[in-house]
Structure 1
């Protein structure tokens, strides 16, 4: 996805004013804010193509994903820190990292949304079996298998093509009888960014330490110490640092 759309500035001013009825002269008050509006943000979303494998739920380091159910896909929650691990993990690329920018151009407010490319971790199926005593031939697994690796012959139990299986685990999660056993191997998270610390700029305020969701950063004496094994490169510390002493850079 790479789309741009726009809204008339005066229309947006009116909408903001309507939502700020408790403010006097609200419309006039927001004109300057909108005129100078330049916003950049990033958000993560899960598309309806979710196969209910819940790998993203298992791998999220801050428990920010609500697990999928038979009738609905997984859902990103408000405590997401945008580390992108879920997008790297999804075996069917249905988790999208969207870059959003907004700026004023003449009489329009322009919005631009772009689907960022995210590398994918390796996922391999080591072993998968169907228990013939539990399988009731309901074919629910067939519906959710993203590679078409499962078939249920008439009068038989589920049959899995182990060459086509990618080990996502969707069949395991949706099977109502718990008849499928899976052993899989998931590769490490791919580091696409690096967190840099400017010790000279740091004012030892401890904001980074207090806000890190995985306790990966500590203030020891007058030095900020980062644990690279724990750090998930989520941008929380870099965005909250009041003096810009922490920066994330692409590698």
Structure 2
């Protein structure tokens, strides 16, 4: 769902002045000047619907997600590089990728847009409950997103494999380690493309130094070389490049 909201430019002036109070001895002499501009950003959030499967944390290539447990959901950490692999991997689509845009002129207008991220194939191959370990606590049933699990009093948990989607939430929250799962997880879908302008490159090596997976480097001829097998199409190199020689473009067939 897309959202747009506005605020008066005077309110933004007040906010900037208040945040600058610690830097200025005399706030009365402090004046705020904000030039017209447009600021874009993107953030990723995990909603309270998290089923505790930890697929997002397991698939994150830069360890930027704190794992969930039966008490707390998974959490995006500050070292997130916005590759969107977590959103593709979440079996219940509780990870949202939101694009934000702020226009500053006579007023401030904020736009929030939910990006439609395609989903990887996730399929249960086999799932079993060890009757010698199961303690019939019902925690697995609580977090199952498809209600595939039934637990009777003092009985081993039963899993309907026709309903199971292979998310692994039950196995993750099981305190007795009684559930074993085999699943098929399809490849990450390519929703973006990294365009490289070799002529614009100034050989500063910022891309090579900042790439979190070592996918990009400058060769002996000072040309940018991209290892597509390592590249996770995050936003690091394109945002670090001082001359826009690297541009990350979203493909038109995004679904």
Normalising by structure 1, report the TM-score.
0.95
Q: CA deviation at 1:28?
A: 5.9
Residue of structure 2 in register with 1:109 after alignment: 108
Contact 1:125 1:166 in 2 (8 A): yes
Separation in 1, partners of 2:29, 2:175: 56
Contact 1:17 1:27 in 2 (8 A): no
Residue of structure 2 in register with 1:142 after alignment: 141
Residues 138-195 of structure 1 deviation map (CA, whole Å, 9 limit, x = unaligned): 1100100000000112342110000100000000011110100001111001001111
Contact 1:13 1:27 in 2 (8 A): no
Secondary structure (helix, strand or coil) at the match of 1:18 reads helix
Secondary structure (helix, strand or coil) at the match of 1:171 reads helix
Show the 5 A alignment for 1:77-116. Answer: 77-106=77-106, 108-116=107-115
Separation in 2, partners of 1:153, 1:111: 51
Secondary structure (helix, strand or coil) at the match of 1:30 reads coil
Show the 5 A alignment for 1:1-251. Answer: 1-21=1-21, 22-23=23-24, 29-31=31-33, 33=34, 35-106=35-106, 108-221=107-220, 222-251=222-251
Secondary structure (helix, strand or coil) at the match of 2:12 reads helix
> CA separation of 1:148/1:28 partners in 2, compared to 1, >3 Å: closer, same or farther?
same
Separation in 1, partners of 2:92, 2:116: 14
**Structure 2 gap segments, 5+ residues each:** none
Q: CA deviation at 1:250?
A: 2.4
Normalising by structure 2, report the TM-score.
0.93
Worse-matched range after superposition: 175-184 or 10-19: 10-19
Separation in 2, partners of 1:27, 1:243: 38
Separation in 2, partners of 1:37, 1:192: 28
Separation in 1, partners of 2:28, 2:176: 59
Residues 86-117 of structure 1 deviation map (CA, whole Å, 9 limit, x = unaligned): 000000000000011111353x3111111110
Contact 2:36 2:105 in 1 (8 A): no
Residues 42-70 of structure 1 deviation map (CA, whole Å, 9 limit, x = unaligned): 00000000000000000000000001121
Residues 191-211 of structure 1 deviation map (CA, whole Å, 9 limit, x = unaligned): 011111111111111110000
Secondary structure (helix, strand or coil) at the match of 1:232 reads coil
Separation in 2, partners of 1:19, 1:167: 48
Contact 2:13 2:32 in 1 (8 A): yes
Separation in 2, partners of 1:76, 1:172: 22
